[in-house]
Amino acid sequence: MSDTFRAIQIDKVDDKQTVNLVNLTDADLMDGDVTVNVTHSTVNYKDGLALTAKAPIIRKFPLIPGIDFAGTVALSDNPAYKPGDAVILNGWGVGEGHSGGLAERARVKGDWLVKMPAGMDAAHAMAIGTAGYTSMLCVMALEDQGITPESGEVLVTGAAGGVGSVAIAILSKLGYSVTASTGRTEEEDFLKGLGASSIVNREEFNTPPKPLAKSRWAACIDAVGSTTLANVLSQMNYGGVVAACGLAQGMDLPTSVAPFILRGVKLIGVDSVMCPKPRREQAWARLAKDLDMVKLDALTTHIKLDDVIATGADIIAGKVRGRVVVDIA
Ligand code: NDP
């Protein structure tokens, strides 16, 4: 590794956020006990918000964005890691308040890292990324509430996005019957290829929500929030379970208590950022087992560090299908 490394850097100049591809040295990295040679990263929705300054994601300036990375340990003062170990990082405020993964090099707390599970490599780990790992946390949340393939139809909203597309691939491998809600009906073949048995237009969930509507779904993984989630809640079967993780439509939730008190519907919140380490390790082990890597390849696009800034704008514009891997090494 040369003395300098390439990194995306976000700074604030005259109260305006700037983003550039720059050369940095290890002295520019933040405190941590493990330094990693990053081989792969990704662009998540949150990274798009940070890169475009559409939301105040970045809390320190200057900062390297990127809430995920995978790579190889270069230096370690942490007894759990040694040079050469393959590792993954998701969340913990990295790429928000601590410099992140959109660079050739990263320095973080070893406690934040997860060892690469057997049977997975860095490129596939980043094809999964925070979006896919959150999909698995959502599947686990449904299972914790007793949902099985026999429970009935599972709806996935934001289906053509990162969380949605990986969720469909996992659920179909586990034997669930999945309906995909999307605004991109031209992606029907793609979504059916991932394992969706039927497709609904997301406009069906964009009408003023009724307290209760016709029961349709045993479970739902929702990446959209807002009016969509309110309509989904009103359409849940008796005892149905919704795992809510996203806000692609908005942060509001214009619903009533009717689905909860009249149908016993359960709304389970899913957070990936501060999720405790044992559950993360469980999710990554499940991903290595329960996600078809051929389907993962089909939903993944590869880009270079030079393409990251443009891709950040594309993901916020809803133009990115599935997952994006940044090939860094
Ligand atoms: P993507 O941009 O890849 O996908 C979001 C999808 O949501 C889009 O592809 C689109 O699906 C749908 N969508 C976008 N805008 C609207 C709208 N106005 N109305 C209805 N649907 C819309 O993002 P990700 O999948 O990576 O992330 C999804 C959400 O989950 C984000 O809000 C993200 O912040 C959140 N998230 C939360 C995490 C957590 O820890 N809780 C972790 C990871 C993500 P389609 O084109 O199929 O209609």
The whole-angstrom separation of Cα 298 and Cα 148 is 26
Pairing of strands 217-222, 154-156: parallel
- pLDDT of residue 1 exceeding 70, the answer is no
Whether 23 shows a pLDDT value over 70: the answer reads yes
pLDDT digits (tens, 9 = 90+) for 267-301: 999 999 999 999 999 999 999 999 999 999 999 99
pLDDT tens for residues 120-162?
999 999 999 999 999 999 999 999 999 999 999 999 999 999 9
Both tokens assigned to 229: 């989630």
Q: Which atom of ligand 1 is nearest to the CA of 163?
A: 25
Tell me the torsion sign for CA atoms 286, 289, 295, 296: positive
Ligand 1 centroid to Cα of residue 247, in Å, is 7
For residue 3, the model assigns a pLDDT of 87
CB 51 within 8 A of CB 15: no
Closest atom of ligand 1 to CA, residue 165: 25
pLDDT for 219:
98
What pLDDT was estimated at residue 329?
Answer: 87
Q: Which atom of ligand 1 is nearest to the CA of 273?
A: 40
Using an 8 Å Cβ cutoff, are 44 and 139 in contact?
no
First vs last Cα of the chain: how many Å apart?
A: 10
Return the residue whose CA atom lies nearest to atom 36 of ligand 1: 246
Instruction: Determine whether the shortest distance from the Cβ of 160 to ligand 1 is under 6 A.
Output: yes
Distance 46 CA to ligand 1 centre (A): 10
Q: Is 191 in the pocket of ligand 1 (CB under 6 A)?
A: no
Ligand 1 atom 35: residue of nearest CA: 246
- 150/136 Cα distance (integer angstroms): 19
**Predicted pLDDT at 2:** 58
Could you count the other beta carbons within 10 Å of the beta carbon of residue 82?
11
The pLDDT of 217-235, averaged and rounded, is: 98
Over residues 25-77, the pLDDT tens digits come to 999 999 999 999 999 999 999 999 999 999 999 999 999 999 999 999 999 99
Write down all domains in the chain, each with its CATH number in brackets.
Answer: 4-116+299-327 (3.90.180.10), 130-269 (3.40.50.720)
Q: Is the CB of 270 under 6 A from ligand 1?
A: yes
* Over residues 244-273, mean pLDDT: 97
236 lines ligand 1 (CB under 6 A): no
Percent of the residues in the chain that have a pLDDT greater than 90, as a whole number:
98
